[in-house]
């Protein structure tokens, strides 16, 4: 059974950093497009944060480019999201997710549902 378990969320002041991790089990990491999306408090809105393809190609949402970095360690396997220069508008529940193609991440704000998803980890950035 596929499991994705996030960790590393928490509270930080504006300008600070956090590193999220996603421990994956139950499948071959290299077969999926892994990534992160977030859901903002009190809203249905979802936003693709970052994703990484099986060939190492990375994708970032416009609002996080230059501040966040996604990486994966296939040996563990673990997906990580380094978040720097955090802003209050980054406050959200962050989810690790995976699916066979990049489409889920590209269309997450339109209601796309990834095949696998973790329970989420809260990130709160105060001003």
And the tokens for 63? 């609002």
68 sits in the region (left: phi over 0; alpha: psi -120 to 50; else beta) called beta
pLDDT, tens digit, 9 for 90 and up, residues 50-89: 999 988 899 999 999 999 999 998 777 889 999 999 999 9
Cis bond leading into 77, ω under 30°? yes
Q: What is the mean pLDDT of residues 6-18?
A: 97
Task: Say if residue 39's pLDDT is above 60.
Answer: yes
First to last CA, the chain: 40
């Amino acid at each position: 059974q596929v499991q994705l378990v996030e960790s590393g969320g928490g509270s930080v002041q504006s300008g600070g950093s956090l590193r999220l991790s996603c421990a994956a089990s139950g499948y071959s990491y290299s077969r999926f497009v892994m990534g992160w999306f977030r859901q903002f408090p009190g809203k249905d809105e979802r936003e693709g944060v970052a994703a990484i393809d099986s060939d190492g190609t990375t994708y970032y949402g416009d609002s996080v480019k230059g501040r966040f970095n996604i990486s994966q360690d296939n040996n563990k396997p673990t997906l990580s999201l380094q978040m720097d220069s955090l802003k209050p508008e980054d406050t959200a529940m962050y989810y690790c997710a995976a699916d066979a193609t990049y489409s889920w991440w590209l269309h997450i704000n339109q209601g796309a549902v990834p095949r696998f998803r973790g329970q989420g980890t809260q990130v709160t950035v105060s001003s």
